Amino acid sequence: MKRRVVLKSFAAASILPFIPSCSQVVGEAATPITPLNKPRNEWKGLVSPRAYQILFEEATERPESSNLLYEEREGTYLCAACYLPLFESAHKYESWTGWPSFTQPIAGHVATKVDFKMIWPRTEYHCARCGGHQGHVFKDGPPPRGERWCNNGYALKFVPAEEALPLLRS
Ligand SMILES: [Zn+2]
């Protein structure tokens, strides 16, 4: 309980870099990711207000509100804040939850932490580079991994396979 209070007060200090405490990187990146210690209020001018609320205030978009739910082209899903690639289209699937869902992230590009917002513990995940909140991972996904990476569409930017990926934002 005490740690929860500390995390909350940390989150309230918008001048601090947004790197969630106790986070654990999932898998190993081909090229190691250097965390970006950018004060969260500096992201305000770079992302939409709706994306900011999700990425840096851990809001959740209403189900079926993102166009990415219906995106079926081949391509890459980037963090909408810093442009780090987080998911490949090959791992997207229809979960019928109303949120874009994936069976796995790109190794080493997301990190998880446990949150207690719903009283019971859930595994939150975020961009391993800028710390921007993306969604939650559940253990009711399809085989073989059995994982459902349930993502806010507004926290992602889709780049079709035929387009070059943008440079990472710093
Ligand atoms: Zn990011």
Average pLDDT over residues 63-76: 97
Question: Residue 168 C-alpha to ligand 1 middle, in angstroms?
Answer: 9
What is the rounded distance in angstroms from the CA atom of residue 90 to the CA atom of residue 94?
12
Residue among 82, 127, 130, 150 flagged as catalytic: 150
One CATH from 2.60.40.10, 2.60.40.1120, 3.30.420.10, 2.170.150.20 for 2-160: 2.170.150.20
Question: Residue 83 C-alpha to ligand 1 middle, in angstroms?
Answer: 6
Whether residue 58 is predicted with pLDDT greater than 70 in this model: the reply is yes
Q: What's residue 13's pLDDT?
A: 47
Place of tokens 């446990």: 114
Clarify whether 22 is annotated catalytic: no
Question: Residue 117 C-alpha to ligand 1 middle, in angstroms?
Answer: 22
**3-state SS, residue 56:** helix
Distances from the Cα of 117 to the Cα of 4, 59, 168, angstroms: 10, 11, 31
27: left (phi over 0), alpha (psi -120 to 50) or beta: left
Whether residue 66 is predicted with pLDDT greater than 90 in this model: the reply is yes
pLDDT, one tens digit per residue, over 100-133 is: 999 999 999 999 998 887 778 899 999 999 999 9
Whether residue 152 is predicted with pLDDT greater than 80 in this model: the reply is yes
Whether residue 33 is predicted with pLDDT greater than 90 in this model: the reply is yes
Residue-range domain boundaries for the chain: 2-160
Q: What's residue 8's pLDDT?
A: 46
68: CB partners within 8 A, 6+ apart = 77, 100, 153, 156, 158
Question: Residue 79 C-alpha to ligand 1 middle, in angstroms?
Answer: 5
